[in-house]
Structure 1
Amino acid sequence: MPYSVVILGAAGLLPFMLLPLAVVMNLLPLPEGARYFTQYSAVLLSFFGGIYWWDALSKKDFGPQVYIAMLPTIIGWLCLVFAGSSMILSVLSVTYLAVLMYDKQSLSLDKEAIVSYISLRMILTTVVVLCHGWMIFIL
């Protein structure tokens, strides 16, 4: 995996780690911190739908994967609509895990690329899910 991808992936974790920390340290009120966390999580989740969209287009397979590509965005949007509870953060967290599992099953990258991509995603998703748990605990 290119170094820049690893750095950008790690940088994407910063809001997940810093927002709960800011709430715990009383630098940010809990309602705002939870709202910002949910917003960032929903936006980032939406990003993963683009991976499926690209994969389907590159394979010229416009079957179910094109429709599945929209699910992260729809779930993220619904979580924004109903934001404000630990249940929504749980839904986001579980969706990140589901997206990772779907990646393992469906992406048509070559073997070396899929191994390095999934390895990176497993690390990043673990941190994301743990941060969701931390924010749920704070709530």
Structure 2
Amino acid sequence: MQPLIKQLGFAGLLPFIGLNILTFTDVMPQSLVYLYFTQYSAVLLSFFGGVHWYDAISSHKQGHQMYVAMLPTIVGWLCLTQSGAPWVLGILSISYLLMMFYDKQVLTLPKDMVVSYTKLRMQLTTIVVLSHAVMIFSR
């Protein structure tokens, strides 16, 4: 796997980590930190649907993968409409886990990328889910 892929993957964690740090400061209102965290999480979750949309199209797949590709965007949008609700970050967190497991089962990857992609996704998803837990329990 190219170093740029890893660098961009870990760079995508910066808003999660930065917003988690802000929950322990008085730099901005906590409600705003929570809102920004929820917004970023929902937007990033929808990215994983795009991965499956592309995979299904490029592999000429029909069926469930095309439908599942739409779910992260719909779940993210629904969470944005309820962004003040206490359960929203739990739903987003679970969605990240489900997408990671679905990726492992369904994505068509070159053989040389399967192990490195799966390892990277596990690392990134673990940090994302832990960041959600910090945000949930710091409220």
TM, length-normalised to structure 2: 0.97
Report the secondary structure of 2:134's partner residue. Answer: helix
Spell out structure 1 runs of 4+ moving beyond 6 A: none
Q: How big is each residue's C-alpha offset from its partner over 1:95-135, in whole Å with a ceiling of 9 and x where there is no partner?
A: 00000000010011122212111110100000000000000
Q: Which amino acid aligns with 1:18?
A: G
The number of residue pairs the alignment matches comes to 139
Task: Provide the C-alpha distance between the structure 1 equivalents of 2:64 and 2:78, rounded to a whole number of angstroms.
Answer: 21
1:77 Cα deviation (Å)? 0.2
1:47 and 2:44 matched: no
What residue ranges of structure 1 are gaps of 5+ in the alignment?
A: none
Q: Distance in 2 between matches of 1:60 and 1:87?
A: 37
In the alignment, structure 2 segments of 5+ residues that lack a partner are none
Question: Which residue in 2 is equivalent to 1:66?
Answer: 66
Q: Which residue of 2 aligns with 1:84?
A: 84
The residue number in structure 2 matching 1:104 is: 104
**Does 1:128 pair with 2:128?**
yes
1:35 aligned to 2:35? Answer: yes
- Percent identity reads 53
Deviates more, 1:117-126 or 1:17-26: 17-26
Task: Tell me the residue number matched to 1:14.
Answer: 14
The structure richer in helix per residue is 1
Give the Å deviation of 1:50. 0.7
